[in-house]
Amino acid sequence: MTDNPRKKRPVKTAKDITKKSKPAEETLEQSERKYKALIDTTGTGYVILDSNGKVLDANPEYVRLTGHKSLDEIAGRSVVEWTAPHHRGKNIIEVKKCIEKGFVRNLEIEYIDQTGHITPVEINATFIESNEGPHILTLVRDITERKRADETLKESVERYRKLYTLTPAMLHSIDRKGHLLSVSEEWLRKMGYTREEVIGRKSIEFLTEESGRYATEVILPEYFLTGICTDVPYQMVTKDGQVMDVLLSATAERDASDTVIRSLAVIEDITERKQAEETLKEREKELQIQAHNLEEANVALKVLLKRRDEDKTDLEDKVLLNIKGLVTPYLDKLKMSGLDKSQKDYLTILESGLNQITSPFLHRLSYSFANFTPTEIQVANLLKQGKTSKEIGELLNSSSRTIAFHSDNIRKKLGLKNKKTNLKSYLLSIK
């Protein structure tokens, strides 16, 4: 190595130089200037080393990568000086390898400047023999941005790995043809497969036939247009043949041409919820049947109760009318006959007992004929039975004229005065 690597070699000239050789030398100098300009302005560091790894020449980009300002600061110095301490041994070994093998490719090390700032670089070098001795021609590229991108990618991959291994959700990603690229641990656990058994297979292979047809004919065509689907109901089949109800939501990743290249799907197992819904539906059906049966039973009960009330009313009317028609007249006649004191007492007791028995019936009857006198109630009741005025008179120990008077009052109170309405028929119509 010379004291000044950038000092131009002396050029010997002859006095007898010809016109032909001078243009050739000028052309060579122009080429050298162009080459140097290209090297000096490129964004890649360029350095020429001797066989010991010391700098002979370098472009400005390489000087910048070493953390210096000019070539004079690094000329004659070993590249090991600005190599990060943990890479110095590696750099020395690679220089030797370059001399032995003739090249070094894609060597990644780190440079460090006087302030401690580290710059990751990639080195490609070639060993040559020339008239001036052995040289190592080296290209050094700053890979800081690439390293950052690599770290970002590593972080993304790690997050992605954690997502697929630690998440409690069923996840899978597929390529544009529907082949499984990855699945989460929960997906494998639920489905009962190992990762080796599923990667590369089509996702629809794990669906029921009906769900597979639905996915192919309906969901996927729309999905490739929109790039998203939400809560799509499917049925998946586990390794042991169990059918699992799921909801699938997916989002697509597209390339520069807007073509779906892969997609990530989140799958929610709703089997238990589905079973609960089915159980609830069955229970609702049972309750509807029970409610219908209960409604019919209520209708029947209402009919029975109404019939019972009607039967009760009919019975009460019959008892009351029979007592009034068949018993009371004879009791009245007994009163008129010559009874001794003892017989009169028995008759009073008998009449009192009958009144107690018929008093609830008379109350209901009085409610229907609220403004009737007791005698008018008796007459109205006997008229309902079809008794004539004469028969009623005999039963009540009254004259036919008196009964006609009571009948006329009954018509007035019922609003039938001067009407041709049959009194018996009207009385029968009153409940």
> Using one digit for the tens of pLDDT, what is the confidence trace for 41-73?
778 999 999 989 999 999 999 999 999 999 999
- pLDDT, residue 426, reads 83
The Cα-based distances of 122 to 64, 144, 276 in angstroms read 15, 10, 62
What is the mean pLDDT of the segment spanning 339-348?
81
Same domain, 136 and 154: no
Residue 229 domain flag: yes
Residues 161 and 100 in one domain: no
Residue 242: which CATH number?
3.30.450.20
- C-alpha–C-alpha distance, residues 125 and 140, integer Å: 9
Question: Does residue 159 share a domain with residue 103?
Answer: no
170 in any annotated domain: yes
Report if residue 358 sits inside a domain. yes
Question: Quick one: 129 and 156 in the same domain?
Answer: no
Whole-angstrom distance, CA of residue 376 vs CA of residue 365: 11
> What residues make up the domain containing 73?
21-142
Tell me if 6 is assigned to some domain.
Answer: no
The DSSP-derived string for 160-207 is HHHHHHH-SSEEEEEETTSBEEEE-HHHHHHHT--HHHHTTSBGGGGB
Residue 190 confidence (pLDDT): 92
Quick one: tokens of 153? 């990618």
If one counts the domains in the chain, the total is 3
279 domain-assigned:
no
In this structure, the answer to whether residues 190 and 134 fall within a common structural domain is no
The amino acid that residue 263 corresponds to is S
Whether 95 and 158 share a structural domain: no
Residue 167: how many CB atoms within 10 A of its CB? 14
Q: Report in angstroms the alpha-carbon separations of 303 from 296, 311, 314, 430.
A: 11, 12, 16, 21
Report pLDDT digits (tens) over 368-407.
Answer: 565 777 788 778 878 877 888 888 888 888 888 888 898 8
Residues 6+ apart with CB under 8 A from 118: 84, 110, 111, 112
- What span, in angstroms and rounded, lies between the C-alpha atoms of 330 and 332? 5
The bridge status of strand 180-183 relative to strand 170-175 is: antiparallel
Whether residues 343 and 382 share a domain: the answer is yes
- Counting every residue, how long is the chain? 431
Residue with token string 């008239």:
131
Residue range 410-415: average pLDDT? Answer: 85
DSSP class of 72: G
Other Cβ atoms within 10 Å of 67 Cβ, number: 18
Closest CA to 140 of 127, 124, 118: 124
Q: What 3-state DSSP class applies to 300?
A: helix
The confidence score (pLDDT) of residue 38 equals 67
Residue 8 domain flag: no
- 128 within domain boundaries: yes
321 or 376: whose pLDDT is higher?
A: 376
pLDDT tens column, 137-149: 999 999 988 888 7
Residue 90 lies in a domain: yes
Kind plus residue range of the DSSP H or E element containing 173: strand 170-175
Last residue of a domain, one of 142, 163, 192: 142
Whether 396 and 423 map to the same domain: the answer is yes
Residue that is last in its domain, among 118, 142, 166: 142
Distance CA 110, CA 118 (A): 6
**Tokens 């058994």, residue located:** 197
Other beta carbons within 10 angstroms of residue 35's beta carbon come to: 10
Q: Which pLDDT belongs to residue 8?
A: 41
Residues 135 and 155 in one domain: no
Q: Which of 18-22, 87-91, 109-113, 153-157 has the lowest mean pLDDT?
A: 18-22
Residues 131 and 153 in one domain: no
